[in-house]
Amino acid sequence: MRQAKRIAAAVLAAALMIALFPATLAALPTAYDAGPCGTNVSYYFDFNTSVLTFHVIGSGSGGMWEFGVVGDSSSERLPAPWLSRGYADKIKAVAFEDGINYIGSNAFFNCASLARITIPADVKSIGTSAFYGCGALADLSFMGTVPPVLGDAAFTKIGGSLSSPPTIRYPVSAAGDYEELLTSGKGKWHDMEEYMPAPFEDMPSFTPDQLEEMKQDIPIVYGVEYAAGAVSYMVTVQTAYSRAYAGAKVRVMYNGTAEVITLSASGKGSGSFPAQPGEAHFSAEMLSGPYPGAQSNKTLKILGNGKIAER
């Protein structure tokens, strides 16, 4: 009898907590969302960094599925999971890893917080309304020397205005092809001709040498400090261009011990290891991002007074 009363009291207490603090329970964060989203393609959204990453499952290449629009019951296609699950407005950056060759229709429909994006050279086509309604999207970089094929309204109602047009980058060696793509319009761009009367005078572009140099982007370890028996460090990506490395994974090794860190929205990360006497051999290797496998090495020496010296 006493046991039954205890159970009843516990149940009542739990019910009262839920009634008193429903918002708190509902606000408990989910670290990530992940799953398949195409043929050999999966996605991973990090709620802490607001970065949505796409990668190919296994080796080779793959493309996204075609998606529907949230609330459109007439469509036979389902919305993209990151849209149907209600966090579209939280997506601030998107990263396509090597091998993604197709961005599906309606993939980022009305992602209002998405501000900049780099389309890798592997992407050969972009579906209908893929970036429709991305009102903050005003910085685009196309890395391919051959422009992707665009579906209707692929970039309709993106960011920019007459006084502040969007920045669009592309290889200068393919300037003619990209200019033709931009002027072809037909609803694929956000009234491009209307508020960009001379859209190519100041349009940024990459030279072949710059494109080659970008492939040399490497992660570097810096700011190494020694205190309380631990060696702390920071890591970032050395690059000559404004490239988005937010959410990229970097493996850092210290004297044979490794840990994997995720770069923040500013493209930086940090960590620490238990200190070992003598030389400190650091290496950093990109595990994701535009150029996985890029790496660097650094050798330091832990001095007797606890300080770090460059070798």
Query: What whole-number distance in Å separates Cα of residue 226 and Cα of residue 200?
Result: 51
Q: Give counts: helices (H), strands (E), the chain.
A: 6, 20
Give the per-residue pLDDT at 191.
47
Q: Mark which of 175, 192, 211 sits at the end of a domain.
A: 211
The number of distinct structural domains making up the chain is 2
Query: What whole-number distance in Å separates Cα of residue 77 and Cα of residue 70?
Result: 10
Q: Mark which of 179, 211, 243 sits at the end of a domain.
A: 211
Do residue 204 and residue 306 come from a single domain?
no
Q: Has residue 19 been placed in a domain? A: no
User: Up-side HSE of residue 180: CA atoms within 13 Å toward CB?
Assistant: 8
Give the per-residue pLDDT at 186.
45
Give the per-residue pLDDT at 27.
40
**Sheet of strand 218-227, all strands in order from the earlier edge strand to the far edge:** 218-227, 230-238, 268-274
Distance, CA of 274 to chain centre: 31
The CATH number assigned to the domain holding 227 equals 2.60.40.10
Do residue 130 and residue 278 come from a single domain?
no
Q: What is the pLDDT of residues 202-252, one digit of tens each?
A: 456 666 666 666 556 678 887 788 887 888 888 888 664 545 577 888 999
Give the per-residue pLDDT at 157.
83
What's this model's pTM, rounded to 2 decimal places?
A: 0.58
Give the per-residue pLDDT at 26.
40
Which residues, at least 6 apart from 202, have a Cβ–Cβ distance to it below 8 Å? none
Q: How many CB atoms within 10 Å of residue 31?
A: 8
Do residue 272 and residue 197 come from a single domain?
no
Range of the domain at 265: 216-310
Task: Identify the H or E element spanning 254.
Answer: strand 249-254
SS3 (DSSP) at 69 = coil
Which amino acid is located at 136 in the chain?
A
| Residue with the two structure tokens 């970039």 | 155
Do residue 220 and residue 257 come from a single domain?
yes
Q: Which segments of the chain have a pLDDT < 70?
A: 1-30, 160-165, 183-217, 238-244, 290-291, 303-311
